[in-house]
Structure 1
Amino acid sequence: MNDSTLIDDLFDRPSGPVRPFEFDADVARVFPDMVRRSVPGYAELVGMSGLIARRAARPGTHCYDLGCSLGAVTRSILRQVEADVRLIAVDNAPAMIEGLQARLADVPHAERVEPLCADVRDVAIENASFVVLNLTLQFIPPESRLDLLTRIREGLVPGGVLMLAEKVLIPEDRGGRFMIQLHEDFKRANGYSEMAISGKRTALERVLVPDSVETHEARLGAAGFAGVGRWFQSLNFVAWVAWI
């Protein structure tokens, strides 16, 4: 399947009030283009997820991609980890799981992946050596985030690792405004119109609720992780590894 031909023009179509963002079939069709043009460093996040998995995954354990969308991270992990590791790819959007299954059709060793259409908050995390939350926690209600991270930590085997990547809340000062303006410049440079930038911003309000770096790191500690390392930042996108 050639994702490069599916151009994200969803917010260039004026059709009345902007609806809240949801991961429906329209978004699934253009998602690879959308995320590539919207998230600085997305390719590095995906590629590094596989490399981190190669170091963290243990034979006879599970890897979880929570909020897997179309499975870019799942496929990155699949390329890097040993045969005796089961991958559970979870998303609550049927269109995303259907897209994932289509993209796995011709991928070697795809039988090791278990696609699961479910809310990540309802999934049991068991015998896990590596768990990924790649741009997922920000869509979970804030009051549920600590509980989810705690359940992940409890489901990790000794030496297990969580990779967390998020859009973060930027301080409302000159530096923060500059960072937000640079992110919008990034989207303009990738071909998004002013209408698209404004429309998507409106659609994501109250759907994507970011936290500050400090909040994320304090919450990981409260969830019981023994250590946290911040390994990536590009504008207002940050990624960590946390271990037990």
Structure 2
Amino acid sequence: MMRDHDSPGLPTPHKTASAFTGDAVKSYLEGPPRQVPGLSSLHRMATMLMAERTPDNGRVLVLGAGGGLELKAFAEAHAGWTFDGIDPSADMLQLARQVAGEHSSRIGFHQGGIDIAPEGPFDTAVCLLTFHHIPVEQRPEILQQIRRRLKAGAPFVVAHMSFPQDEPGRSMWIDRHIAYGAPDGGDPSRQENARTAMRERLHILAPEDEEAMLRAAGFSDVSLFYAAFSFRGWVACA
């Protein structure tokens, strides 16, 4: 997890880290819109893709729900959907409650990992800006647990950082990501700290490896729907 919210361009410190508390939580809402190109459009696209196969009274699983930005967007778009939001951080879940506001009555908040999620079956699932914080060796089990909680043919929408991992491509994309998050330049030492954090703490895969992992977990019809600088998003079917 990335906890230095003051570092320009640092990858969005999401939702998967139980130590994400205090001032880091308060400043979280400022990070994603600055660091993720077209964040509101990503939420809209995800909502549209989920709605293609989700009924008006659909049940939605949201992994990495802390912060509540996507929960709020989905709930505003579909008044009949109910949600189960999963996140390891109690503070981030509390923030999600605040952000979701009046929609919180339709949301179940669950502290922990995917293993504590309700069994479902769910009509759809989504995981945004989270998987690049999860070690690669843990992802297959998480993806399999998501899939088995979904109805047959249900959509799964996922988006996070993904770019080539061979050099010099990897270093180039890290530099681009840092620069995008700090359009005014910023403190060079803070930018270097952000580069080091990306190299050492994030778990980023090339797009082709992301797609292969989804298929290996049993998802089909894997399709790229979002490509914005250092981020990629896919929709797949259970």
TM-score tier by shorter-chain length is: 0.7 to 0.9
CA positional deviation for 1:241: 0.2
Partner of 2:74: 77
Q: Does 1:133 align with 2:127?
A: yes
Q: Does 1:144 align with 2:138?
A: yes
Alignment-mate amino acid for residue 132 of structure 1:
V
Query: How many percent identity over aligned positions?
Result: 22
C-alpha deviations, 1:176-220, integer Å up to 9, x for none?
544333322212216643233222333455432111111111111
Alignment-mate amino acid for residue 24 of structure 2:
V
C-alpha deviations, 1:67-101, integer Å up to 9, x for none?
01211111111122241x32011111111111111
State the alpha-carbon separation in 1 of the partners of residues 91 and 69 from structure 2: 15
Q: How many aligned positions are there? A: 226
Alignment-mate amino acid for residue 162 of structure 2:
V
Counterpart contact for 1:61–1:127, Cα < 8 Å: no
Q: For structure 1, which segment, 88-97 or 114-123, has the greater mean C-alpha deviation from structure 2 after superposition?
A: 114-123
Counterpart contact for 1:153–1:224, Cα < 8 Å: yes
Partner of 1:32: 29
State the alpha-carbon separation in 1 of the partners of residues 132 and 178 from structure 2: 19
Counterpart contact for 2:20–2:91, Cα < 8 Å: yes
Alignment-mate amino acid for residue 117 of structure 1:
Q
Q: Does 1:90 align with 2:65?
A: no
Match of 1:188 among 182, 191, 194: 182
Partner of 1:197: 191
C-alpha deviations, 1:126-173, integer Å up to 9, x for none?
111111110112222322211111121121113310011011142334
Q: For structure 1, which segment, 132-141 or 41-50, has the greater mean C-alpha deviation from structure 2 after superposition?
A: 41-50
Partner of 1:219: 213
1:31-180 aligned within 5 A: 31-83=28-80, 85-105=81-101, 107=102, 109-180=103-174
- SS of 1:10's equivalent in the other structure is coil
State the alpha-carbon separation in 1 of the partners of residues 196 and 170 from structure 2: 19
Query: Could you say which structure has the larger radius of gyration?
Result: 1
Aligned CA distance change for structure 1 residues 207 and 181 (closer, same or farther; 3 Å) = closer
Counterpart contact for 2:163–2:231, Cα < 8 Å: no
Counterpart contact for 1:131–1:162, Cα < 8 Å: yes
Aligned CA distance change for structure 1 residues 124 and 9 (closer, same or farther; 3 Å) = closer
TM-score (normalised: structure 2): 0.83
- What is the root-mean-square deviation in Å for CA atoms of aligned residues? 2.4
State the alpha-carbon separation in 1 of the partners of residues 70 and 208 from structure 2: 25
Partner of 2:20: 23
Counterpart contact for 1:133–1:163, Cα < 8 Å: yes
Unaligned runs of 5+ in 1: 1-7, 13-20
Partner of 1:17: none
Unaligned runs of 5+ in 2: 9-16
Counterpart contact for 1:131–1:161, Cα < 8 Å: yes
Partner of 1:5: none
